[in-house]
Chains A and B, each alone.
Chain A
Amino acid sequence: MAQLNMVQAINLALAQEMERDDRVVLLGEDVGRDGGVFRVTEGLQERFGAERVMDTPLAESGIVGAAIGMAAFGLRPVAEIQFLGFAYAAFDQLATHASRLRGRSRGRFTCPLVVRTPYGGGIRAPELHEESSEAFFCHLPGLKVVVPSGPYSAKGLLLAALRDPDPVLFLEPTRLYRMIREEVPEEDYTVPLGTARVAREGSGVTVIAWGSMLERTLKAAKPYDAEIIDLLTLNPLDLETILSSVRKTGRLVIVHEAPLTCGLGAEIAATVAAEAILSLRGPVLRVAAPDVVMPLPKLEDAYLPTAEQIQAALDEVLKY
Chain B
Amino acid sequence: MAEETLATFTIRRLAVLDEHGVADEPLLPALSEEELLRLHELMVLARTFDQRALALQREGRLGTYPPITGQEAAQVGSAFALDPTDRVFPSFREMGVHLTLGYPVDRLYQYWAGDERGQRAPEGLEIFPVCVSVGSHIPHAVGAAIAARYRKEEAVAVAYFGDGATSKGDFHEALNLAGVFRLPALFICQNNQWAISVPVKEQTAAVSLAQKALAYGIEGVQVDGNDVLAVYRATREALERARSGGGPTFIECLTYRMEDHTTADDAARYRPPEAVEAWKRKDPISRLERFLTGRELLDDGKIADVHTQAVATIDAAVKAMEAIPPPSPAEMFDYTCANLGRRQVAQRQEA
Contacts and interface: CB of A to CB of B under 8 A. Distances in A.
Interface string A89-108: 00011001100011111111
Contacts of A106: 116-117, 119-120, 334-335
B140 interface: yes
B343 interface: yes
B311 interface: no
Nearest to B185: A69
A174 to B, nearest CB: 25
A38 interface: no
B119 A105 contact: yes
A67 B143 contact: yes
Interface string A144-172: 10000000000000000000111000000
Interface stretch (A73-81, A283-291, A305-313): A73-81
Given A59-B173, A194-B341, A239-B342, A70 B143 contact: yes
A109 B139 CA distance: 16
A75 B147 contact: yes
Given A69-B157, A141-B336, A165-B338, A104 B129 contact: yes
Contact of B147 (A64, A74, A97): A74
Interface residues of B, number: 44
Contact of B342 (A57, A61, A70, A240): A240
Contacts of B174: 62, 65-66
Given A75-B150, A166-B337, A62 B121 contact: no
Interface residues of A, number: 46
A67 B119 CA distance: 21
Nearest to B123: A108
Interface string B101-132: 00000000000000011011100000011000
A314 B315 CA distance: 70
Nearest to A164: B338
Interface string A44-70: 000000010010110101101111111
Interface of B: 87, 89, 116-117, 119-121, 128-129, 133, 136-148, 150-151, 157, 169-170, 173-174, 176-177, 180-181, 334-339, 341-344
14 contacts: A59-B173, A62-B174, A65-B137, A66-B177, A70-B147, A92-B170, A141-B336, A142-B337, A144-B337, A165-B338, A194-B341, A236-B344, A237-B343, A239-B342
